[in-house]
């Protein structure tokens, strides 16, 4: 039994709820086939892809950690390959701590976090939800500042999610500037010798 890390890229048109539903299915399949359990789930939310994937320009990113025997992996991979709403996924061995504050998202980062909280409050059951809870919280409080890229047409997805109180829209209004290329300015490297 080893611990793995998986990054999903879902179609950005999915709402966080829909993503969670799918996720529950996948993770159930893993634990069924491989034993083990999900140890962490972090929603990154919608983010611009560095290049189009399946003609999509944006994707909904989600990182999870889980333990599994070897059979769980092949079961999960088979399931995911058949899933049209998963643009890409990557399963690697988990290394170090899962950085919760990683989302280099667009302006929607905060909205995404709140949305996740909202749905946790609704409580969909399942043991992985508790992990999701805390990770999503930190996610929201993490760095929301990075306003890279457009808050494009898909923001309708967030509306349903924040149905209790979360002002999911507020965050998604602002469209920031461009994308990743902005960082080039900082010196890539300390001077070599």
Interface with another protein, residue 124, by CB under 8 A: no
Q: Are 87 and 9 in contact (CB under 8 A)?
A: yes
For 59, half-sphere exposure in the C-beta direction (CA atoms, 13 angstrom radius) is 23
Least distance to another protein, CB of residue 41, Å: 14
Q: Interacting stretch for another protein, rule CB under 8 A, among 23-31, 127-135, 150-158, 175-183? A: 175-183
| Distance (Å, whole) CA 16 – CA 19 | 5
Q: How far apart are CA 151 and CA 16, in angstroms?
A: 16
| C-alpha separations of 121 from 110, 124, 173 in Å | 17, 8, 24
Site residues for another protein, 90-109, by CB under 8 A, read 90, 92, 95-96, 99, 102, 104
Give the Cα separation of 66 and 38 in Å (integer). 4
Window contacting another protein (CB under 8 A); options: 24-32, 134-142, 168-176, 182-190: 182-190
The reply to whether 193 sits near another protein by the rule CB under 8 A is yes
Q: Which residues bind another protein (CB under 8 A)?
A: 7, 9, 49-51, 53, 59, 61, 63, 88, 90, 92, 95-96, 99, 102, 104, 180-181, 183-184, 186-193
């Amino acid at each position: 039994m080893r611990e793995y890390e998986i990054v999903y890229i879902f179609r950005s048109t999915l709402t966080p709820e829909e993503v969670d539903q799918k996720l529950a299915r996948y993770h159930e399949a893993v634990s069924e086939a491989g034993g083990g359990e999900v140890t962490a789930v972090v929603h990154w939310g919608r983010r611009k892809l560095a290049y189009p994937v399946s003609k999509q320009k944006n994707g909904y990113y989600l990182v999870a950690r889980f333990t599994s025997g070897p059979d769980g992996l092949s079961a999960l991979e088979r399931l995911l390959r058949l899933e049209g709403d998963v643009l890409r996924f990557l399963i690697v061995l988990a290394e170090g701590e899962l950085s919760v504050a990683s989302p280099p998202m667009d302006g929607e980062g905060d909205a995404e976090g709140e949305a996740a909280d909202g749905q946790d409050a609704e409580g969909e059951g399942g043991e992985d939800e508790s992990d999701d809870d805390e990770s999503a919280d930190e996610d929201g409080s993490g760095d929301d500042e990075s306003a890279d890229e457009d808050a494009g047409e898909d923001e309708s997805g967030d509306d349903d999610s924040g149905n209790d109180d979360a002002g999911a829209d507020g965050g998604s209004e602002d469209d920031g500037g461009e994308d990743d290329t902005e960082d080039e300015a900082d010196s890539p490297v300390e001077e070599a010798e």
